[in-house]
Amino acid sequence: MSEGYATEETFTTADADAYDRWLDTTIAVGILGFVLAMAAVGQVVTLTASGDALNGVFLTLSAVVTGAVGLTAGLAALNVVAVESRRVRGVGLGLLAATLLLTAVVYATGVQLVTLFGLVLLVDSVSLVGAGIASWTGSVDTQPNASAGILTGSVFALVGFGIGAAVGGAFLDGPLYLVAGLLGAALFGVGTIVPREDIGSTLPTAAVTAVFAAVILTGAIGPDWQWLPEGLSGGFSGVIVVPLFVLFGSLFTSWSAAKCRARFGARGRQYGAFLVIYLNAVMMVAVMVSIVFFVVSRGVTYAFHGVQIGALSLLVLLAPLLVLAINRARNPSGTSEWHSAARQSFRIAPVAAIGSLAVVLVGLIVTGETLDYAFEYTVLGDGREEVPIDTVAAITPETAVGAWVLAFPTLILAVYFFRNASSLRGVGTRSPTLERVQQAVPLVGTGLALATIAYVLVGTGFPVLVTVGTGLVVAGAAAAAGATLFALSALTSGPEGLLDNAQYVPVGLAGGVTLLAVTAFLEPTVTVSPGVGPIDIVPAVALLGVLVGAVVAVAAAVARNRGGDDRVFVSQALLGLSAVCGFLTILGLHAAFTGAPVDLGVATVANVGSFDWPFVMQSYVPLGIEPGGIYPAVIGTVWLVVGASTFAIPLGVGAAVFLTEYIEQGSFTAVVETATNALWSTPSVVFGLFGAALLIPRLGDQRSLLAGMLVLGFMLLPLVLITSREAIKSVPDEYRDASAALGVSRWETIRSVVLPAAMPGVITGVILGVGRIAGETAPLILVLGSTLNTPNAADVLGNFQLLSSAPFVFNGAVMESTAALPTGIWATIAAGVSGSQSRGWGTALVLLLVVLMLYSIGIVSRTYFRRKLNYE
């Protein structure tokens, strides 16, 4: 094994432990300094902050770091996530220790942030000197090169020049500062290149850091410091310069410490480079985030006024993310080569982030405090003057969870777990009871479903129907409870129960969830929710199911850890989790359908109240200071995209199939191809004119949602056609041959082999196209009507009418003009229709979010189809 690929353990000896921990902590302090300096540059915290203000910052920081390190360490201890690298562990613990120590210092002494920065740099500097000397004297076994190298030397020479010139400029007159600069460059360059690497790459860094520390601590450059160069109208202030010093000082120290930690030499250089790149990447991301932040900041106060969400609701929404993050963290990190540490740290980062957030949220619930952010936004007053209004965005300690907030994530998780569990067919014995349950569940389920349909059609006009319906709901819930308990009986039948009666688990749990789900749908159609006293029966059975699912999952996990059939137990654990989520979904559905909150003691599942976003969830208020929202425009845009997609996607894909699979490639296809390409690059306003001149006279002679849908559909069509054609063409002919050789007809082949294989490409086209049409403004002005004064959202679903004559289906809502986000922006900002400018920016922000949401739906479905192709 060559040195370059040696694992870390090769170089780790017991007596070097203290040295390693020391340097890990130094790196951690460097990272901490870097992050704090970035926060100071971004003015998140001011340099002069001290006392309560700084205490708050450090308390939050401590919570974040504790959550991150704590959750990761906890999962590592439970063997859910592997953290093998000693370096990752060391830096993690170092971060924890350094953060807690700094927090303690801040609390105890009440120093200003700027002083703290100086101290941090001083500590960094001293540790580096210690590490360098330890290596030089041979107290630690290292492999330094003869020199730190020309490149490093040049960098330090440059830094030396800067320091020399600055110091010279402060004390000397005229061009002499140049001499001082050159002197500094020579000193640092020689000091880096001439000595052995362990001295050459620690002492210069320590010196630079010490200079920064001295400048800051002596107050030579403090928050009040100003530099006004001639010829510039502005200047530089200490508020920016001090954090920049800390930023660079921390970067240098982390780099040097990383080199020391990896014992210099080739490995040292690599680790050092990795750390610098990592921190630079963090900075890049931070810069990009701040650019987006600046762009949206103009609209954000308006868009997010009065936003509120309960902490528990947020926690529920975190659950799917946690599962994703754990999944990512469980991926093997490859070989045990030393730089697997890098990959490991990337893998566990999301888990750590969620841990931080969860700790903060739980903290809110426990302490009962509200995490709020106060700000003000402006609206247009009566006399068209800007009126500032105070508002606040808050995470409340509320323990109510919105019904849909609960139902959606848990439904996704239930399906996810269920799909990941492998089939237990043929495992264990088949008892007569199992047979009976397996036969009974579909019968009862179908009966309940038929009853639901009957109640939808007939209604509950007669009292007797309600009585019967109540009976059915009770029977359904009882059957669900029975099936669920049947799953539990696998556990009670002895230690081998989970293996012998393996199929009890899937049959019982799936049966229970299905039956209760059908019952939950039956309930609102009968308009009853039977129960004993204050406890309704459906949520009670759902809670029972949650418990049973959890018990089964834990039992299976324990059985697996004791050793045994991995596949069976893992499947059962996943099925248990799936049932937990499924029953929670039903709990949410029950609350949503019946409108009655479900009280769970510590928490409540409520229909309203846990989430409020006035700007998006309220309708437009025509006049007055109360700003109202853009709900009709959001709904309008969503309907436009949905309508255009339903029109264009089948047509485009169908045409692509026809052009690619059925007709010969020749002049006709060439003409069609040119035409579609030309159509794709046609200006959108031309589409609008086409719609206004051709469609509107034929669609009730008024601008309408339907006309908007059709015009946007025409715009979407060419892109869908082009990308689908490319995707279908790229499906290998081998698949078609293989299918034909089995005697399968062409259409069947297209349907079951070609289209699934082409799906990711088709979806990519749809994603691009939808992104374009969602933000399209010009044609909508012409065909949709750009009215802001629509107080009501288009109620498309509730407006379907069945007619006895052609066209048989009529929808009043799509025949009317409505609002859309892009036209709303145009109207407020460009045309000056009512509302302040910030209202327009807010609308733009919401439009961005809507497009982003559509993108993410597209990307998720593309990933799904790709996975299906690649892994199944």
Partner 1 sequence: MSETITETETATESTTDSAQTTSGESQERLREEWTHYRFDGPPKLSVEDLNVWYGDDHALKDVSMDIPEKSVTALIGPSGCGKSTFLRCLNRMNDRINIANIEGSVELDGSEIYDPNTNLVELRKRVGMVFQAPNPFPKSIRDNISYGPRKHGDIETGLLARLLGRDDKDEEQEIVERSLKQAALWEEVSDRLDDNALGLSGGQQQRLCIARCLAVDPEVILMDEPASALDPIATSKIEDLIEELAEDYTVVVVTHNMQQAARISDQTAVFLTGGELVEYDDTDKIFENPESQRVEDYITGKFG
Cα 247 to Cα 121, 251, 828: the distances in Å are 10, 6, 42
> Rounded to the nearest whole angstrom, what is the least distance from the CB of residue 737 to partner 1 in the complex?
6
Q: Which of 44, 748, 831, 856 binds partner 1 (CB under 8 A)?
A: 748
Q: Please, what is the minimum distance in Å from the beta carbon of residue 649 to partner 1? A: 22
Q: Site size for partner 1, by CB under 8 A?
A: 24
C-alpha span between 803 and 806 (Å, rounded): 7
Q: What are phi and psi of 619, to 5 degrees?
A: -85, 170
For residues 15 and 734, which CB has a smaller minimum distance to partner 1 in the complex?
Answer: 734
Least separation in angstroms between CB 661 and partner 1: 12
Closest alpha carbon to 687 in 703, 667, 711: 711
Q: Mask of contacts with partner 1, 713-742, x by CB under 8 A?
A: -------------------x-xx-xxxxxx
Among 492, 681, 804, 870, which residue sits at the site for partner 1 (rule: CB under 8 A)? 870
CA distance 828 to 848: 17
Say how far apart CA 535 and CA 538 lie, in whole Å: 9
Among 547-555, 748-756, 794-802, 840-848, the segment contacting partner 1 (CB under 8 A): 748-756
Q: Looking at beta carbons only, is 602 or 742 nearer to partner 1?
A: 742
Which phi-psi region, left, alpha or beta, contains residue 853 (left: φ > 0; alpha: ψ -120 to 50)?
A: alpha
Which stretch of DSSP H or E encloses residue 192?
Answer: helix 176-193
Q: Among residues 176, 671, 853, 869, which is the contact residue for partner 1, using CB under 8 A?
A: 869
Q: 566 or 701: whose CB is closer to partner 1?
A: 566
Ramachandran sector of residue 337 (left: φ over 0; alpha: ψ -120 to 50; beta: rest): beta
Distance CA 302, CA 291 (A): 19
CB contact at 8 A, 350 and 324: yes
Residue from 474, 744, 768, 833 touching partner 1 (CB under 8 A): that is 744
Q: What mask, x for binding partner 1 by CB under 8 A, covers residues 640 to 679?
A: ------------------------x---------------
Which residue, 277 or 740, is less far from partner 1 as judged by CB?
Answer: 740
Distances (CA, A) of 551 to 121, 492, 583: 52, 11, 14
Applying CB under 8 A, does 376 fall inside the site for partner 1? Answer: no
Q: In the window 754-773, what residues touch partner 1 (CB under 8 A)?
A: 756-757
Choosing from 101, 324, 753, 768, the residue that interacts with partner 1 (CB under 8 A) is 753
Pick between residue 665 and residue 674 the one whose CB is nearest to partner 1.
665
Query: Could you tell me the maximum CA-CA distance found in the chain, to the nearest angstrom?
Result: 104
Compute and round to an integer the Cα radius of gyration of the chain: 33
Is residue 745 at the binding interface for partner 1, with CB under 8 A as the rule?
yes
- Please say whether the beta carbons of 410 and 424 come within 8 A: no
Q: How far apart are CA 82 and CA 837, in angstroms?
A: 52
The CA distances from residue 721 to 309, 436, 533, 658, 866, in Å, are 42, 52, 60, 11, 20
CB of 870 to partner 1, least distance (A): 6
Q: Which of 455, 398, 410 is nearest to 597 (CA)?
A: 398
Residue 337 or 661 having the CB closest to partner 1: 661
Beta-bridge mates of residue 802: 809
Residue 872 is a binding residue for partner 1 (CB under 8 A): yes
Q: Which residue has the tokens 């209004």?
A: 389
Helix (H) or strand (E) holding 612: strand 611-612
Tell me which of 422, 429, 674, 702 binds partner 1, using CB under 8 A: 422
> In this complex, which beta carbon is closest to partner 1, that of residue 554 or of residue 738?
738
| By CB under 8 A, residue 423 contacts partner 1 | yes
Work out whether 743 is an interface residue with partner 1 (CB under 8 A).
yes
Please state the closest distance from residue 666 (CB atom) to partner 1, in A: 11
The 3-state secondary structure of 645-671, one letter per residue? HHHHHHHHHHHHHHHHHHCCCCHHHHH
CB burial class (10 A; 0-12, 13-18, 19+) of residue 43?
exposed
Q: Would you give the binding string for partner 1 spanning residues 606-645, x where CB under 8 A is met?
A: ----------------------------------------
Q: Of 289 and 740, which CB lies nearer to partner 1 in the complex structure?
A: 740
830 near partner 1, rule: CB under 8 A: no
Q: How far is the CB of 658 from partner 1 (least distance, A)?
A: 17
Q: How far is the CB of 290 from partner 1 (least distance, A)?
A: 43
Nearer to partner 1, 226 or 752 (CB): 752
**273 lies in the site for partner 1, by CB under 8 A:** no
Pick 670 or 738: Cβ nearer partner 1: 738
Are the C-beta atoms of residues 785 and 752 closer than 8 Å to each other?
Answer: no
Output 320 or 756, the one with its CB closest to partner 1: 756
In sequence order, which residues have a C-beta less than 8 Å from that of residue 479 and are 6 or more positions away?
440, 441, 444, 515
For residue 375, give the H/E element and its range. Answer: strand 371-380
Rounded-to-integer distance, Cα 252 and Cα 276, Å: 8
Q: For 527-562, where are the alpha helices, taking DSSP H only?
A: 537-561
Question: Is residue 390 a contact point for partner 1 (CB under 8 A)?
Answer: no
Output the smallest distance, CB 741 to partner 1, in A.
Answer: 4
Q: Closer CB to partner 1, residue 107 or residue 668? A: 668
Q: Which residues make beta-bridge pairs with 810?
A: 801
- Amino acid letter for position 418: F
CB of 655 to partner 1, least distance (A): 21
| CB-nearer residue toward partner 1: 565 or 612 | 565
- Beta bridge pairs of residue 535: 532
Residue from 171, 294, 808, 871 in contact with partner 1 (CB under 8 A): 871
Amino acid at 750: I
CB of 868 to partner 1, least distance (A): 8
When the beta carbons of 89 and 560 are compared against partner 1, the nearer one is 560
| Partners of residue 594 on adjacent β-strands | none
Considering the complex, what minimum distance in angstroms separates the CB of residue 728 from partner 1? Answer: 14
CB of 406 to partner 1, least distance (A): 27
C-beta of 771: minimal distance to partner 1 in Å?
Answer: 28
Is the CB of residue 838 less than 8 Å from the CB of residue 296?
no
Task: For partner 1, give the closer residue by CB, 443 or 693.
Answer: 443
Question: Rule CB under 8 A: which residues touch partner 1?
Answer: 422-423, 664, 732, 734-735, 737-745, 748, 752-753, 756-757, 869-872
